């Protein structure tokens, strides 16, 4: 915990002092981010670091494997859907970025279904959102005699497409997209090479930015 406290002290004495006016303005006027970024909890892919972002710039939702479940308005506690609704209906963001990444532990659990995440209370149920990504990846790679690593990479990228597809099941997302008021983007970060890819709407493939 000392690391965190030390980090806070550095932030407090440098960044906060340099941006005091920004924080005061953000506190009094409220936030008006233009972007909802949906990323993974993974400690290695922090959106603020990867996009060198300033406070107030992105509304950031982070869960395991950057997944969005399909629209299901019922009495349950839907944390991800609530955050999506807050950003889109409450803050009127203009862009949603789903940011996938290489070496995702959630995807590994989904593909391998073993080790630390077997017989879980919640992880397997949550990753079930991406089961079609796993099945597609395994169908293609196993048929081609590819190693499991190829399936993993394909699955990591497909989770991004699944979240985009599920976003369109929310009526107020679809409406805004159809009206041209909201744009959905699929991105993928390779933490080893430091490359950023985006899901190209013409080729349906991830292209380096």
In whole angstroms, how close is the CB of 60 to a second copy at the nearest point? Answer: 5
In 3D space, the residue among 134, 182, 189 whose CA is nearest the CA of residue 159 turns out to be 134
Residue 6 to residues 12, 15, 48, 158, Cα–Cα distance (Å): 10, 13, 19, 38
| Two tokens, residue 150 | 């190829």
In 3D space, the residue among 83, 81, 64 whose CA is nearest the CA of residue 123 turns out to be 64
Is position 200 annotated in a ligand binding site?
no
The nearer residue to a second copy, 100 or 154, going by C-beta atoms, is 154
Whether residue 99 contacts residue 189, with contact meaning beta carbons closer than 8 Å, is answered with yes
CA separation for the pair 186, 53 (Å, rounded): 18
Could you tell me how many residues make up the chain? 209
The nearer residue to a second copy, 35 or 100, going by C-beta atoms, is 35
The nearer residue to a second copy, 100 or 170, going by C-beta atoms, is 170
In whole angstroms, how close is the CB of 104 to a second copy at the nearest point? Answer: 10
Is position 42 annotated in a ligand binding site?
yes
Is position 128 annotated in a ligand binding site?
no
In whole angstroms, how close is the CB of 38 to a second copy at the nearest point? Answer: 10
In whole angstroms, how close is the CB of 115 to a second copy at the nearest point? Answer: 9
State the alpha helices, DSSP H only, in 16-147: 16-18, 20-29, 47-50, 79-85, 105-112, 123-127, 131-143
Binding positions: 40, 42, 101, 104
Binding positions for Zn(2+): 40, 42, 101, 104
């Amino acid at each position: 915990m000392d690391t965190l406290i030390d980090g806070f002290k550095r932030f407090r004495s440098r960044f906060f002092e340099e941006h005091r006016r920004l924080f005061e303005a953000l506190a009094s006027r409220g936030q008006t981010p233009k972007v909802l970024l949906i990323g993974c909890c993974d400690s290695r892919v922090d959106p603020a670091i990867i996009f060198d972002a300033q406070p107030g710039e992105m509304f950031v939702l982070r869960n395991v494997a950057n997944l969005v479940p399909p629209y299901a308005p019922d009495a349950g506690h839907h944390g991800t859907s609530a955050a999506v609704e807050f950003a889109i209906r409450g803050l009127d963001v203009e862009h949603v970025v789903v940011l996938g990444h290489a070496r995702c532990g959630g995807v590994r659990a989904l593909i391998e279904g073993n080790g630390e995440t077997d017989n879980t209370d919640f992880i397997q149920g949550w990753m079930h959102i991406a089961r079609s990504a796993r099945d597609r990846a395994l169908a293609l790679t196993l048929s081609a005699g590819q190693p499991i690593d190829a399936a993993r990479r394909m699955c990591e990228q497909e989770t991004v497409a699944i979240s985009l597809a599920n976003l369109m099941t929310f009526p107020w997302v679809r409406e805004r997209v159809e009206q041209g008021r909201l744009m959905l983007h699929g991105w993928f970060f390779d933490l080893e090479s430091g490359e950023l890819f985006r899901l190209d709407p013409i080729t349906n493939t991830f292209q380096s930015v």
